[in-house]
Amino acid sequence: MSRPDSVAKRAPGALALVGFLVALLGIGFDLVPGSSPGFSAPQLALVAGGLALLAGSLVLRHSGARRVLRKTLGQHFRAIAIITVLTLLFLELALSAAGFPTYFPQEIPDKFLDPAPWWTCDQAGCHYVYDEMVAACERGELRDLRCLVNRQGFHDTQDFVVEPDFDQRFRVLVLGDSFTFGGSADAGKSFVEFVEQAFPESVIWNAAIPGTGTNQALLSFDAFAPLLQPQITILGFYTNDFDDNMMPVDSYFMGLDSTGFQLSIRKYQIDLRGNLIKLDRQSDLYYRYHRVDPPVSELHRIAGTSRLGSLGLRTADAVLQMFSKAEGSRLNRRVEVTREYLAALRDASDSKSDLLVLLIPGRDDIAAAGPLYRSARQLLDELEIAYIDPLRLMDSERDYATPPDIHWSNAGHQKIGAILASCLESFLASASFSACPR
């Protein structure tokens, strides 16, 4: 048997396998985290294309059909090429008419963002600028909890300054991200404010800042613990801290777009090998504004500005999401980096303050703790850091805000506040966190 005939006989099987995988991918799009339920036009196109390839493979199993195909391709190559080009053009126009978005923005302005004047990073980590925040809130440009900041730029009703009677009062320093900041809670309803109300004679400083990790918490501790001299330091730890800790503390570009809308964009990305890449050009930030990583080449960019190319790139993303092993080696690296920061915070507070970590379960962790949540729990056990695990006490519906908001509702904040207040009461009575839920 000649080599061409051997290849020709194997081709139908390979074509059938490709068709099956394409159709399966179209069906499996709904399994990708964050996908919308129901079949979309791109999904239907993938399923139809896969079934067409399967049908073609059945036809090509017959040697006569393969001979006819080879003869047809040889005689009508020009016509087939023209029909193929016209078909691709038609599909491009059809996807455009259906409103299918391109993977990359088609036009990139030279500059589209100005830095926000109300955001800064220094030896205390990243935080708001009080005077600029006040001015922006008076103009109506900012609202909600960000307008309730102290002169140090943190969401607290009292300034971080030493009072004469501090030695006589129970003192707590709170660190963390948006959950601990009070995300999605009404004013006065966050879990930190609940604890403040439960201990009215205490001094509780909330130094949490949204979008930050344990590296920020370590800086804030070094800045404010010598002033407050807290008996207890509380760290709110959410699972995205593993990713935040892979970035520098100053990892966000806080800016204003052309309409004056406030936004925050990562100035860095982590590649598939876990390397940190800085994005400091306006064009790169513009891609992040559209929630995609910048193109790796000009060919990549051109493909991503067409509808068909965008369909292919989104298909590739779906394949990577479904079959990637990101929770393997990449998770291990994130865990090790976070271990270093947690150990540093433990050691820094060892002779000054008792460290307590509040584990913050995501909505999806309630049914079954995910790998990141389990890793956080294991890490704290290994480092012998006391922690509260409220997982079994939370309700995924009543205690969380309406999706896509990931934060706790007022009810969730109040429940966590009650748990934390009870934990602190037991500590004051026994100098131990053993009675706190684990």
pLDDT greater than 90 at residue 433: yes
Query: Is 51 within a domain?
Result: yes
Q: Is residue 341 part of a domain?
A: yes
- The Cα angle at residue 294 between residues 290 and 296, in degrees rounded to 5: 155
Q: At what angle do helices 329-349 and 214-228 cross, to 10 degrees?
A: 0
* 93 and 14 belong to one structural domain: yes
261 belongs to a structural domain: no
Summary mean pLDDT of the chain: 86
> Residue 259: its pLDDT value, please?
76
Amino acid 236: pLDDT: 98
73 and 174 inside one domain:
no
What domain range includes position 201? 163-245+329-428
**How many CB atoms within 10 Å of residue 358?**
23
The enclosing H or E element of 310 equals helix 307-323
pLDDT computed for residue 227 by the predictor: 95
pLDDT by residue (tens digit) across 21-58?
777 766 665 554 444 445 555 566 667 777 777 776 67
Q: How confident is the model at residue 325 (pLDDT cuts 50, 70, 90)?
A: very low
DSSP 97-161: HTTPPPSS-S---S---EE-TTEEEETTEEEE-HHHHHHHHHTTS--GGGGS--TTSSS-SS-S-
The pLDDT, as a whole number, for residue 296 is 78
Last residue of a domain, one of 39, 71, 97: 97
Position 216 in a domain? yes
What average pLDDT does range 158-166 have in this prediction? 92
Q: What is the mean pLDDT of residues 399-420?
A: 97
Q: Which of 144, 151, 223, 204 is nearest to 178 (CA)?
A: 144
Residues 6 or more apart from 239 whose CB is under 8 A from it?
A: 360, 362, 365, 370, 372, 373, 376
- Indicate whether 337 and 222 sit together in one domain: yes
Determine the pLDDT at residue 48.
Answer: 74
- In a domain, residue 359? The reply is yes
The residue-averaged pLDDT of 306-326 equals 75
Q: Are residues 9 and 91 in the same domain?
A: yes
Work out the pLDDT band at 12, boundaries 50, 70, 90.
Answer: low
Is residue 202 within 8 A of residue 170, CB to CB? The reply is: yes
**pLDDT digits 0-9 by tens, 170-206:** 999 999 999 999 999 998 999 999 999 999 999 999 9
User: What CA–CA distances, in Å, run from 299 to 72, 248, 337, 438?
Assistant: 32, 30, 35, 52
Q: Does a structural domain hold residue 279?
A: no
- Check which CATH number belongs to the domain holding 215 and give it: 3.40.50.1110
pLDDT at 36: 46
In this structure, is residue 113 part of a structural domain?
A: no
For 338-378, how does the pLDDT look when each residue is reduced to its tens digit (9 = 90+)? 999 999 999 999 888 999 999 999 999 999 999 999 999 99
Question: What is the pLDDT confidence band of residue 333, given thresholds at 50, 70 and 90?
Answer: confident
Give the pLDDT score at 297.
80
Last residue in a domain, options 97, 117, 133: 97
pLDDT at 386: 97
Say whether both 223 and 368 belong to one domain: yes
Ranges of H-type helices in 160-270: 178-181, 191-198, 214-228, 241-244
Taking residues 151-176, what's their average pLDDT? Answer: 94
The token duo for 365 is 């962790």
What is residue 139's predicted lDDT score, i.e. its pLDDT? 87
Domain termination residue (choose one: 97, 121, 154): 97
Q: What is the pLDDT of residues 67-91, one digit of tens each?
A: 666 666 566 667 667 777 888 899 8
pTM as predicted: 0.77
Of residues 285 and 320, which shows the higher confidence score? Answer: 285
pLDDT confidence bin for 162, thresholds 50/70/90? very high
Whether 244 shows a pLDDT value over 50: the answer reads: yes
Answer yes or no: is 53 within a domain.
yes
Structurally, the chain folds into a number of domains equal to 2
Residue 320: pLDDT band (50, 70, 90) is: low
Angle at 396 (CA atoms; ends 367, 325), nearest 5 degrees: 45
